[in-house]
Structure 1
Amino acid sequence: MSISLAKRWLQTLAIIHVIGGLLLPVMVYTSLAAPYFQHLQTAFPNSNPQSLQFLIGVFGPTVASWGLLFFYAIGKAFETKTKKDWWLLVCATLVWAVLDTTFSLANHVAAHFYLNGSVLVLFLIPLLLTKKHFKSQTT
């Protein structure tokens, strides 16, 4: 994978996060979200469906913000191409994926295992394939 393709791939994923995050507060009230909320109702049988919709909807702007920040970080990392920048992108991805998935599984929300795992692979593949292009910083 070329470094320019990897950069475009990662920036596209970041833009998808921005768009998805901005749409999430609306999407929670559509039939597209029904299977997800049924899964959450199973994991949290005593929960209020409106509270779950609110909590997931309000999380959307956080996802959008993460996407914007990641888009910027990708641009800077692929401009300077230092090992530090590469590790920043990898760590930002792993912190989200590992903690979100662990917390979700601990609370019986298995859907996040599959969703997070798929997205994690989409982020890590281009990062791993371009690692050799990121060099140690010399002072």
Structure 2
Amino acid sequence: MAGVEKWLKLIAIIHIIGGVLLPLVVFSPIATPYFEHLQKAFPHGDLTSMKFLIGVFGPTVASWGLLFYYAIGKAFLSKTEKDWWFLFSTVMIWLVFDTAFSLFFNVTAHLYINSLVALLTLFPLLALKPHFNRKENTDAS
């Protein structure tokens, strides 16, 4: 179980680092195929505006990664059913709404990116569900 915790924390760290770097990456050649894809989805879109919106989204991704890292640590300490559902819900809310919104606007690249991240995150969470079986302490202090 410690290996899965480390794996999920690694996913969170990748989000933190990637999110912090995203405002810089939008100006690098590595982002060119992504912006070409966006320009096909939004043929009248302004490339500078797209770079701004993706770049400013980076700190949000970093923030989510930091919160997910913290939540993983807390969840693995208490191992309650509620903790597992909390972690599962964070991934599902992002996955469903981000993917649906992206597909609505024909940004199919997000389907592939989101599917990969979801598989790398949800399979370990689903495998761990039986280990998160402690009952919530409801005693008032």
Q: Percent identity?
A: 55
What residue in structure 2 maps to residue 80 of structure 1? 78
Q: 1:1-139 alignment to 2 at 5 Å? A: 3-139=1-137
Structure 1: segments with no counterpart, 5+ residues: none
Q: Distance between the aligned counterparts of 1:16 and 1:118, measured in 2?
A: 13
Q: Distance between the aligned counterparts of 1:138 and 1:96, measured in 2?
A: 26
Q: Distance between the aligned counterparts of 1:127 and 1:92, measured in 2?
A: 11
**Which runs of structure 1 show a deviation greater than 4 angstroms over 4 or more consecutive aligned residues?**
none
Q: Distance between the aligned counterparts of 2:2 and 2:16, measured in 1?
A: 21
8 Å Cα contact 2:13/2:65 also seen in 1: yes
Q: Distance between the aligned counterparts of 1:116 and 1:138, measured in 2?
A: 32
Q: Distance between the aligned counterparts of 2:14 and 2:113, measured in 1?
A: 14
Query: How far 1:9 moved relative to its partner?
Result: 0.3
Q: How many residues align?
A: 137
Query: How far 1:137 moved relative to its partner?
Result: 1.1
Structure 2: segments with no counterpart, 5+ residues: none
TM-score scaled to structure 2, two decimals? 0.95
Deviation per residue, 1:74-107 (Å, 9 max, x gap): 0000000000000000000000011000000000
8 Å Cα contact 2:78/2:134 also seen in 1: no
